[in-house]
Amino acid sequence: MTDYAVDEDEVRHVAALARLGLAEGEAAEFAGQFADILEYFEALDEVPEVDAEPELTNVLRPDEVDEGLTQEEALQNAPETEDGRFKGPRVS
Amino acid sequence: MSTQASAERADLAVVIGLEVHVQLETDTKIFCGCSTTAKEDEAPNSRTCPVCLGLPGALPAVNEAAVEAAVRVGKALDAEIAPETRFHRKNYFYPDLPKNFQISQYDAPICRDGSIEVSVEGERREVVIRRAHLEEDPGSIVHAGGSIDTADYTLVDYNRAGTPLMEIVTEPDFRSPDETRAFLAKLEEVLEYLSIFDGGRDGSLRIDANVSLVPATEVADDGTIDKETLAAANRTEVKNISSHKGAEKALAYEVTRQRNAIKRGRAIDQETRHWDESRGITVSMRAKEEEKDYRYFDEADIPPLQVADWRERLSIPELPDARRERFREEYGLDNEAAAKLTSTKQVADFYEDVAGEFDPGLAATWVADVLLGELNYRDMGVADVADRLGEVVTLIRLVDKEEITRKNAEEQVLRSMLDEGVDPETVIEREGLGTADEDEVVVAVREAIDANPGAVADYHDGEDGALNYLVGQVMGATGGTADPGTVNERLRATLAEANEG
């Protein structure tokens, strides 16, 4: 086991939360990749500080109905549908 | 119950805290312009857009009306409106949320530190509201081909996804399932008064409850329990409760289940349980994510809100407790009538309309006893006859003008109005219920005297019952349309004349 910031157990845990199956050896592979990715982000430490832009507040929308999608449009990218609903594997 | 059993029972105190999800009545969803109004028999996935379907690149924008509703709730719960409040992403993977996260509020809820006063068996208790925050409702899932455990596949409809919800979290202040029912009924009442909640809507109220038992010796005299004791007790979270009556049943079951387990020397597992309403039991659910697994972080697409000053700007109507008190003072009503007449805002508004035109006592009898009684008998409420209240006022007016007797108005006209959907004049005309005119009464009185010489003789001999008997005869002859007081007077006068003559 290496001392990566994101270790294999953490990769497995997050994969389980996301309901992803990992193949043999993938946890180790991804833990290594995470270390690389985090290293790239360290480049940000070199960036000089600038004044933050003032944050927006209270960006609100009036309570008025907009036209949305039709059922056909809503479902057009779904791999499977049934009776106008998105169809997927069983979940518990 | 043996002495030992009752001692064990007394040795454990019930601790319950609630998370109540309330659907806010707005026209559109919380982060997009899709309608929140479900049309009858609407098609699934017919009220969606890129935002509530979680399509890439869609930008959520907060519905002003949802924020206003939240501020009003905060005001009604006597809560603080945070100077700055923001939204967060709560990450979990379940198909009811197409984005794989729910937009909610984590450590910056819009309302904090409120309270609500409830009355439990005549005793007033304060329930502390820890926080209340805004979030989006998920979509609806159908587990096709079986129950949640045995389904073959899943079907999803996102029409409900994005409906504004307010989650109201209490401190673990409840010491019995009874108290939770009283609290929830009160909360519903307050929310309905604010006109931001429709209790009749399916799924408008959803409740999760945390339940644990602690040694009764840990409860202080003022009813509080220290934090370490609470943290040490294993608790279960009961989900899928959808009404205040359901809450009482589900929690009574869960308390008994825990009590029995402890009595048998078993530990309570810290777990999530599902209330199965049809079977009347709670069942263990899959292990749920822990809070840290939600990996909450800021929703960068939604700038923070600064709406503390809306608390002053937005008004709320007189709330049920205050209105009840005013009804007692202003209209001289007793506790029971005042409580009935303020049970919903609609009833209270209607009562005030009627009390403005007629004697407040008569108005109270008509609205609280007669109308609500007849509606209740038909499993209806004032909301079901909202468009016909004018007809009820017409009927009361006819009674007030003595154009129909009160008995006929209550027992025939109102019932026909409710059962057949016809207006009062139609019923009165059809059944010939208009008050008997004077000539009719005179004729009936004369006939009753002629036909009952025995009763007349008894009356002159001073027998009390005789007059009542004769009144009954006249009422019968006029089909109940005569005013009993007038008949009484007319009989006495006619009998007196006959005696002299």
Give the domain CATH number at B486. Answer: 1.10.10.410
Best A14, A69, A73, A81 residue to mutate vs chain B (most B CBs within 10 Å):
A69
Q: What is the spatial distance between Cα B322 and Cα B349, in angstroms, rounded to a whole number? A: 14
Instruction: Please indicate, yes or no, if residue A35 is contained in any of the structural domains.
Output: yes
Provide the domain count of chain A: 1
Determine whether the interchain pair A65/B34 forms a contact, defined as Cβ–Cβ distance below 8 Å.
yes
Determine whether the interchain pair B64/A60 forms a contact, defined as Cβ–Cβ distance below 8 Å.
yes
CA nearest to A73, candidates B55, B40, B63:
B55
**Last residue of some domain: B291, B310, B337?**
B291
Do B389 and B490 lie in one domain? The reply is no
Query: pTM, whole model, 2 decimals?
Result: 0.81
Instruction: Please indicate, yes or no, if residue B390 is contained in any of the structural domains.
Output: yes
pLDDT score of B42: 93
pLDDT score of B98: 93
Whether B164 contacts B26, CB under 8 Å? yes
Do B330 and B388 lie in one domain? The reply is yes
Nearest chain A alpha carbon to B301: A59
From first to last of its 501 residues, chain B has per-residue pLDDT tens of: 444 444 445 688 999 999 999 999 999 999 999 999 988 889 999 999 999 999 999 999 999 999 999 999 999 999 999 999 999 999 999 899 999 999 999 999 999 999 999 988 888 889 999 999 999 999 999 887 766 666 788 999 999 999 999 999 999 999 999 999 999 999 999 999 999 998 878 788 999 999 999 988 888 877 788 888 888 888 999 998 988 889 999 999 999 999 999 989 888 888 899 999 888 999 988 666 677 889 999 999 999 999 999 999 999 999 999 999 999 999 999 999 999 999 888 999 999 999 999 899 989 998 999 999 999 898 888 888 888 899 989 888 888 888 888 888 888 888 888 888 888 888 887 877 776 666 777 788 888 888 888 888 888 888 878 888 888 888 888 777 777 888 888 888 888 877 765
Parallel, antiparallel, or unpaired for β B123-136 and B88-91? unpaired
Q: Residue B22 has which token pair? A: 């309330």
Q: Collect all residues of chain B within an 8 Å Cβ-Cβ radius of residue A90.
A: 143, 151-154
pLDDT score of A4: 72
Determine whether the interchain pair A88/B153 forms a contact, defined as Cβ–Cβ distance below 8 Å.
yes
Look at chain A and count its residues: 92
Determine whether the interchain pair B46/A71 forms a contact, defined as Cβ–Cβ distance below 8 Å.
yes
Q: Residue B293 has which token pair? A: 């697994």
Provide the domain count of chain B: 3
Nearest by CB: B155 against A60, A61, A85: A85
Give the domain extent around A21: 8-45
Do B402 and B443 lie in one domain? The reply is no
Give alpha helix (H) positions in B308-452.
Answer: 310-313, 320-331, 335-341, 345-357, 360-364, 372-377, 389-400, 406-408, 415-420, 424-431, 438-451
Instruction: Please indicate, yes or no, if residue B312 is contained in any of the structural domains.
Output: no
Do B122 and B211 lie in one domain? The reply is yes
Instruction: Please indicate, yes or no, if residue B493 is contained in any of the structural domains.
Output: yes
Give the domain extent around B470: 438-500
Instruction: Please indicate, yes or no, if residue B309 is contained in any of the structural domains.
Output: no
Instruction: Please indicate, yes or no, if residue A82 is contained in any of the structural domains.
Output: no
Give alpha helix (H) positions in chain A.
Answer: 8-17, 26-41, 71-75
A17 pLDDT more than 80: yes
Determine whether the interchain pair B303/A74 forms a contact, defined as Cβ–Cβ distance below 8 Å.
no
Parallel, antiparallel, or unpaired for β B271-276 and B236-241? parallel
Whether B59 contacts B301, CB under 8 Å? yes
A&B contacts, CB < 8 Å: 122
Instruction: Please indicate, yes or no, if residue B314 is contained in any of the structural domains.
Output: no
Parallel, antiparallel, or unpaired for β B164-170 and B12-23? antiparallel
Do B114 and B85 lie in one domain? The reply is yes
Whether B144 contacts B153, CB under 8 Å? yes
**Last residue of some domain: B291, B309, B329?**
B291
**Last residue of some domain: B391, B408, B431?**
B431
Instruction: Please indicate, yes or no, if residue B302 is contained in any of the structural domains.
Output: no
Instruction: Please indicate, yes or no, if residue A31 is contained in any of the structural domains.
Output: yes
Q: What is the per-residue pLDDT across A47-66, written as a single tens digit (0 to 9) for each?
A: 888 888 778 999 999 999 99
Residues 301-360 of B with CB under 8 A from A: 302-307
Instruction: Please indicate, yes or no, if residue A24 is contained in any of the structural domains.
Output: yes
Instruction: Please indicate, yes or no, if residue A63 is contained in any of the structural domains.
Output: no
Do B227 and B358 lie in one domain? The reply is no
Amino acid B232 reads A
Q: What is the spatial distance between Cα B129 and Cα B172, in angstroms, rounded to a whole number? A: 10
Nearest by CB: A56 against B142, B148, B303: B303
Do B425 and B470 lie in one domain? The reply is no
pLDDT score of B217: 85
Do B81 and B142 lie in one domain? The reply is yes
Residues 18-77 of A with CB under 8 A from B: 18-19, 55-66, 68-71, 74-75
Determine whether the interchain pair B49/A90 forms a contact, defined as Cβ–Cβ distance below 8 Å.
no
